[in-house]
Each structure stands twice: as C-alpha cells, then as structure tokens.
A and B are shown apart, each in its own frame.
Chain A
Amino acid sequence: MSRQRLIVIAVIAAAVVGAGTWWLWPKSVDQSAAAATAGPYLVRLTGESPKIGISPVTVEISGNGDQPPTPDTVTFEPAMPQMGHATTPVAAAAQGDGRYRADVDLSMAGQWEITVRIAASGQVQEAVLSVTTNG
C-alpha cells in the first residue's frame, strides 16, 4: 500500500471519527429539568423520565433558601390536565437525603403534572411538577 493512499485513508478516517465524535458528544444534562417551589421547599424530579404505566418517581426535596422543617408526609398526586383525568394519590417513602420515592400510575403517553403535597408540622405545601412519560 502506497504512502499516499495511507494518508488519504487516514484523513478520511480522521474526518469520519471527528464528525462522529461531534455528533455523539454527550450534551450537558440539566439537573433542573423539572423543579418547582412550594413555600420554603424546592422540589426537584430526579432520575429518568417516568415510563407509561406504573412507574417509580423520585423527587428531591430541599430548602428554598433557609432550611425548612423535615416533611412529615409526602404525597404524589398525578393528573393529566390535557386529558382531564387524575389517578390515585400515593404516599411517598423517604429514601434519605431528602429523597422521596413512590410508584405512580401514569397510564398514558404525554404530559402529566404530579402535585407533590408536603405536610410538615401542620402546614401543607404543594409543588406541581410537569413530567412527560415516554415509551
């Protein structure tokens, strides 16, 4: 194989690899894709977008400024405003580090809103998170 041909192949290979890397380079994932404030709390959806059907949903509850009281109960209330239907609210289980997880019934593809109801020392705060089911 001649040297010139090697150079040509190397150049083409470099171009292909460069273009591929450019296309496939991981884009920075924004952590705050679904976040809402509820009184003294900041509620953020963590993990992957939920799937259609009964799907685990985890939220991270932190302070919106000062340190708020630890929630007594956290409930997820799913509803689909576009279709006008809601599904059964579920109590979320504390996972530590301000994380709460529950399996919610998101029975259709599309945009859902999950109202996260936080009860702490007699006070109730609500944060509405918008999530889109996929799959």
Chain B
Amino acid sequence: MTLALLIGMLVVMTLMVCAPARADGFGTDADVHVAQSLGGRELTVTIRRVGPVLGPLHVDVVTHRGDAPGTLQLTASAPEATTSSGRVDLGPPGIYSATLNVDRAGPWELIVDDGHTAARIPFLVPAQVVPPWKKASDYGFFAAGALLIISLGVALRARRNWIAFVPATGMVVALTVAVTGAALSAYSPPPPQPGQDLDPTLENIRDPYARVAANSLNPVDYSRPPVNMAVAAEQSTLRLTLTDSATGRPADDLLVHHGALIHLIVVSPSGTMSHVHPVRVAPGRYEVQFELAERGAYAMAAEIARRGGGVQLLRGSVDGHSTAAPPPAAPSQGEITATVAPAGSPSTIRARFGDTPDLQPWLGMVGHMMVVGPLPDGPEVGKHALTAPVWSHAHAMVPPAPGAAGGQPDESVARYGPEIDFTYSFALPGRYKVWVQTERDYAILTAPTEVEVSQ
C-alpha cells in the first residue's frame, strides 16, 4: 500500500514538473511573405499564419507606388481539395485583403491572376502532428494511472499479497516509459521538415517522423545540385527556365528566401539596376514583365534557394534591340556616403533617404544593397557587368524590437531609417557600382553610386 501511494505521488509530481510536450504543426508556422512582379505591378503577397487548424486562409496583397489599379483573382487549390477563390480590387498603394478557405493539410498553390498572367505560389497547410515521445508519455501516464487503481484494488481485495505486484510492476514500467518520453522530448532532434528538407507530400506533412529512423542510420545531406538558368526575352517579358543541373528536369523546389522565390537583379546597358521578382507560371518556369528599352547587353543575376538549403546565384543575360533613345536615368532618391577601405577590408556604406524615420521594410529588410564590379570606365556597363566577378546583395536587417512576436514586421510598419548602414568588404580593387534600395510610403526608393576601391 505504502509503495503504491509513493508511486502515485511520484506520478503527480512528475506530471507537474515535466513541461508539457509540444504538439507542433509542421509546414509553415509563420506568415509567408512573397514578392511578385506580376504584370507591371510590384506586389507583396502575404499568406497569413497557416496553423494546423483548417478553415479561413487570410491573404494580404501589398501594392506599391506605380502599380496600376485593377482586380486580382486569388485562388487556393490542391489536388483533390475544394478550390477556393476570392478577389481583391486594387486602388491606391496599400494593403488589400481577401479570405480564402483551406479544407485539407498538404501542399497547396495560391494562384494570383491579373487577367494576363497567373502566378502560382506554392505553400503548405500543416497538419496537427503528435511526436512519438509525446504519445509514449501520454499513453504511459494513462496506463500508469489505470494500473495504479487496479493495483490498489487488488491489494485491498486479493488474499495473496503477490498478486498486487503484477499490476504494480506494470505501473512502474508504464511510468518509466512515460517519464522517459517526457524527458527526452525536449532534446530530441526535429524530423526532416517537409517543404524545407523534403518535397512536401500529404504523407510526410501528416507524419514527418516516419522517416526519422531511416535518416538516423544514414545521415542525409538534404542539399541539392545547382540549378541552370536560361533567359529569353519576348515582347517585354523575360522568361526564365530553371532546370536541375544533374538531371535536366525542371527545378520546381524553390524556397521563399528573403521574401521571394527569385530575386532577379538586372543591370541595363547604361548601368541602371532593376530588382524584380519573377512569378512562377509552371514548374521550373518563371516570368517577369520587363521592357528592354535600351540597346546592348543586359546582365542579370538570379538569387534562389533550393529545397534542402543553400542560396545560389545564377548569372544570365539578354540583348536589347531597341532603336529608340535610351530613357533618361531616374534621379537618385537618396544620398550615399561611402567610407571605402582598401580591397579586402570592411568598408562602410551609409545611405540616407530624406529626413524622417519612416522607412518601411521591403522584403523583410530595412535596406538592400547591390554591388557589381569591378567595372572599367566608359559605357556598356551591362556588357562589362556580365563578366564582372563580384555581384553582391547585402541586407540591413530590421532592428530587433523588444517583446515583438509573430515573425518579421510587414510593410505596414514605417519606423526605420532615415539612415541605413551597410558594412561590406570589396574583394578586389577597382570601380564598383552600388545601389541601395528601401521603401517609404509604399514607394520603392533606389539610390545609385559608384565607389573606387584601392589596392
């Protein structure tokens, strides 16, 4: 009896001491922010926190200055699930929302259609997942409790004492399983993440632990081969075809990194920089509306992240055949002061945009800095940029806000700047083109400059 009581107290104490094991949902646990250069618009599409609870799916579309008003058709679809549609009517720059519905866990697509092009954004709806050690802990405590009652009853009723030891021993075993499960849950490695490490399927979203045992025997490097990019220009549209360099198949496993599937930096023949985000129109096929208004070589670099990790930089080019005079360079929307150190040492680049601290984060960052070089003097910047060894994209991070929760601030937070600092080491001596980008009042601001780096 005393033994049984002691064990009973142990159960209660263990339950109180052990932190509750988590029952996490896998897949997207945070908002998905993805920039889309759709038609002539520069949109940020935000798929709000999708939890394991099915139901409404909140989608925000942020439009920027210069985006035409109009209507976008939003559709959430998945194989064998109910397709849900909505529309947003775009007006002045700002945030426009629609609520769709998801009725099943698994990989989904959000289709944003402006009437000409349909951008297909992949996203995941997670499932409620109970880790195996949580199950062991739950069932173990349940069994221990039931066996405790049985052993108490047996101890009171049975004529021979040893009979009570049968359920009591069972209870100790169940308790051991439960406590071990609860204690291990905090230290157990997470399973491979569908979407991030594995190609997401309904099966691995519902049971991400299914392959843990196999992976623990054969540690898996989830990184994938490089991607090849082909660029074609057709009637003011750039078409990018991404293929796996090892198999030649379409590479359709791009992750949203720094708020886009692809960051495409284009340097025009005269040296104007554009930072656009091609939309996915089919597996491995991306498009962006882009006017080749100048004659000569356009150099470009696409930043992508494949499933399994690692960001890749893919270089490409197209030729502009315009016979019209090139458009005049847009005036700089900020001032850049560069304190340039010799090659290989950290330099400081400070960009100042106006006087008020109301810059908004664009693509999750207060500022973006693009560096291309070293370039020789003279025209045909695009042609030289094609072979320039350095193409960089640096970020000025959003400063941490104490007590902030819920992931990165979206573009409605206008409280940063007006000065943005970057520390960057120019690897080689020579002349570089530098551009800094930020956002204010839903307008994307660009400040270009040139720096000379000494030996």
Contacts and interface: CB of A to CB of B under 8 A. Distances in A.
Does A associate with B in a complex? yes
A132 B210 CA distance: 11
B222 A37 contact: no
Contacts of B220: 82, 110
B247 interface: yes
Which of under 10, 10 to 19, 20 to 34, or 35 or more describes the interface residues of B?
A: 35 or more
Interface in B86-136: none
A48 interface: no
A29 B253 CA distance: 27
A24 to B, nearest CB: 13
Contacts, number: 89
A66 interface: no
A21 interface: no
B198 interface: yes
B150 A15 contact: yes
A128 B211 CA distance: 21
Given A8-B163, A33-B202, A84 B252 contact: no
Contacts of A11: 150, 153
Given A8-B163, A36-B79, A111-B198, A79 B158 contact: no
Given A4-B158, A81-B224, A32 B80 contact: yes
Interface in A72-99: 77, 79, 81-86
B143 A12 contact: no
Contacts of B146: 15
B283 interface: yes
Interface in A33-77: 33-37, 42, 44, 77
A15 B147 CA distance: 9
Interface string B239-256: 000001111110111000
A30 B167 contact: no
B199 interface: yes
B166 A12 contact: yes
B214 interface: yes
Nearest to B218: A109
B199 to A, nearest CB: 5
Given A8-B154, A81-B244, A81-B249, A35 B225 contact: no
A2 B79 CA distance: 62
B201 interface: yes
Contacts of A132: 201, 203-204, 211
Interface of A: 2, 4-5, 7-8, 11-12, 15, 19, 23, 30, 32-37, 42, 44, 77, 79, 81-86, 109-111, 113, 115, 126, 128, 130, 132
